[in-house]
Structure 1
Amino acid sequence: MKIKDFMIKDVISVTKETTIKQLLEILSTNSIGGVPVVDKDNKLIGMISDGDVIRYLQPKSRTVYDMFPLVVVSEKEELTHRLSYSMNNLVGEIMRKKNIHNVQPNDNIDEALSIFSRYRFKKIPVINKDNQVVGVLSRGDLIHYITTKLIKDFRV
Structure 2
Amino acid sequence: MGIKSFQGPRVQQPSEEAPLRVCDYMTRKLITFKPEQSVEEVIVALLKYKISGGPVVNDRNELVGMISEGDCIKHISENRYHNLPSSNLTVEGHMIKNVETIDGNMNIFDAANKFLNQKRRRFPIVENGKLVGQISQKDILKATLKLKSQNW
Band of TM-score, shorter chain: 0.7 to 0.9
Which runs of at least 4 in structure 1 moved beyond 3 Å after TM superposition?
A: 78-82
Unaligned runs of 5+ in 1: 61-77
Gaps of 5+ in 2: 1-19
Residue 108 of structure 1 and its aligned partner are, at CA, apart by 2.1
3-state SS of the aligned residue for 2:147? helix
Q: Offset of 1:110 from its aligned partner? A: 3.5
SS of equivalent to 2:133: strand
Length, aligned pairs only: 132
Larger-Rg structure: 2
- How big is the shift at 1:53? 1.4
* Rounded Cα–Cα distance in structure 2 between residues aligned with 1:110 and 1:145: 10
1:63-86 CA-to-partner distances (Å, cap 9, x unmatched) read: xxxxxxxxxxxxxxx54946x836
Q: TM-score, normalised by structure 2?
A: 0.76
Q: What pairs with 1:113-124 in structure 2 (closer than 5 Å)?
A: 113-124=112-123
1:143 paired residue among 131, 141, 144: 141
Which of 61, 67, 73 is the equivalent residue of 1:42? 61
Q: How big is the shift at 1:26? A: 1.1
Over residues 82-115 of structure 1, what are the superposed CA-to-partner deviations in whole Å (9 max), with x where a residue is unaligned?
A: 6x836x80000010012x1111322222442232
Counterpart code for 1:51: G
TM-score (norm 1): 0.75
